[in-house]
Amino acid sequence: MQAKRVAETEVRMAQVMTPNDANVLGKVFGGSILALIDLTASATSSKFAGRICVTAAFDRVDFLEPVEIGELVELDGFVSYVGRTSVEVTISVHATRLVTGARRHVNTARVTMVAVEDGKPVEVPRLICETREEKLRFLAGKLRRELRVERTADMTALTKQIEGLSESELDNLLGSKERICDHLRAN
Ligand SMILES: CC(C)(COP(=O)(O)OP(=O)(O)OC[C@H]1O[C@@H](n2cnc3c(N)ncnc32)[C@H](O)[C@@H]1OP(=O)(O)O)[C@@H](O)C(=O)NCCC(=O)NCCS
């Protein structure tokens, strides 16, 4: 399978937000932006892998500011990290007010996609990181993956610990200003 350079993985999508995308406050519904992010991740990863890729996980997504109906939303995706069968796509989202041309960054999202054939994960090409920025982004993706595994293990263990507490210990924790994880790790 032929390795690909980061620059070859880029995909750009754009869409004007219509009243169909509105939430009850008349701004763009977060789910409409998430759907566009998912579509961009799908196109970017499938083009890179030369196979259909499915969405395995969204990393944390922060909505920095509202997007207005009538604005042009542009999504720029590229492959930032690859494992054996998974591909992390980074997508930056900008909104442009069409009349003034004012453009602002509203979101950066990372989505893990997995290449599949007959529903089973299959290998993806190697990613060639040439610039310092590309190397840093690849290592950050690997770090994110490692920390995700640690965090999931931590959350499982600490939740189990909470479930083992007595009623009075639960009440003490509910009334305490102490950080729950500090308390649990100390006991
Ligand atoms: C994603 C999916 C193919 C993974 O299948 P699986 O049998 O769990 O595969 P594995 O455990 O072998 O993992 C395959 C790769 O996916 C990664 N992966 C699996 N679940 C993940 C998750 N929740 N978050 C991040 N990465 C994940 C693994 O780390 C592994 O990466 P690597 O090969 O680069 O090391 C499977 O869970 C699936 O089909 N999910 C539904 C996908 C879908 O329908 N999405 C749309 C939702 S409507």
Q: What is the pLDDT of residues 95-151, one digit of tens each?
A: 999 999 999 999 999 999 999 999 999 999 999 999 999 999 999 999 999 999 999
Atom of ligand 1 nearest to the CA of 57: 24
Are 147 and 170 part of one and the same domain?
yes
pLDDT of amino acid 1: 83
One domain, residues 99 and 178: no
Q: Are residues 119 and 140 in the same domain?
A: no
Give the number of other CB atoms < 10 A from CB of residue 141.
24
Same domain? 172 vs 91: no
Counted domains in the chain = 2
Where is the domain boundary, 84, 111, 128? 128
27-65 burial: b if 16+ Cβ within 10 Å, else e = bbbeebbbebbbbbbbbbbbbbbebebeeeeeeebeeee
Domain range holding 22? 1-128
Distance from Cα 105 to the centre of ligand 1, integer Å: 29
One domain for residues 18 and 88: yes
Q: What is the average pLDDT across 139-164?
A: 97
Q: Are residues 92 and 43 in the same domain?
A: yes
Tell whether 110 and 154 lie within a shared domain: no
Summarize pLDDT for 17-75 with one digit per residue, the tens: 999 999 999 999 999 999 999 999 999 999 999 999 999 999 989 999 999 999 999 99
C-alpha of residue 156 to centroid of ligand 1, in Å? 19
128, 152, 177: which is the final residue of a domain?
Answer: 128
| 121 within ligand 1 shell (Cβ under 6 A) | yes
CATH number assigned to the domain comprising residue 21: 3.10.129.10
Distance 109 CA to ligand 1 centre (A): 18
